[in-house]
Amino acid sequence: MNYARRCVACGSLFHPLSHVPNQRYCSAPNCQRERRRRWQRQHMRADEDYRENQHRAQASWRARHPDYWRQYRATHPAYRERNAVLQRERNARQRSLMVANMDASQIAPPLASGVYILRRMSEVRIAKMNACIVHLTVLSPPGGSPAPDCKEMM
């Protein structure tokens, strides 16, 4: 028979079970619930500490190996090439967005005013394609001085 000890939750005396020599909570349901609650809280805190440690360790590793990515890129041409392709795609997308976002007055008109047929470049070789008839009015001549509100663009 083990000696009686005090439950750390309710403070009453109990006899620890023979197969749980370090038992600290009596077997009352409330005290067992309390034991599980404390256990979970402790583990959650341990997890947070763990994640924080991982984060710190990674940051300090990066600080100690500033050349790692440069060397990685230097020794992995496929990785470098793929990155370059992705960057070119991003740049192209950015450029076409910028053109789309300009208003017409900000693009130097290369043509004279008149009626034009407007077609999508990608559809030029398709026999039956969509075409718009548009009237373009040139507001400043090709090569001429831009409108005053275009100065920022030049």
Please, which residue, 10 or 84, has the CB nearer to Zn ion? 10
Residues 44-83, one symbol each (x = binds Zn ion by CB under 5 A, - = not), give: ----------------------------------------
CB contact at 8 A, 105 and 72: no
Measured CA to CA, the distance from residue 14 to residue 3 in angstroms comes to 8
Q: How far is the CB of 22 from Zn ion (least distance, A)?
A: 15
Among 29, 28, 35, 34, which Cα is nearest to 14's? 28
What's the token pair of residue 62? Answer: 């990066």
CB contact at 8 A, 138 and 113: yes
Q: How far is the CB of 45 from Zn ion (least distance, A)?
A: 23
Please, which residue, 16 or 31, has the CB nearer to Zn ion? 31
Residues 25-44, one symbol each (x = binds Zn ion by CB under 5 A, - = not), give: -x-x--x-------------
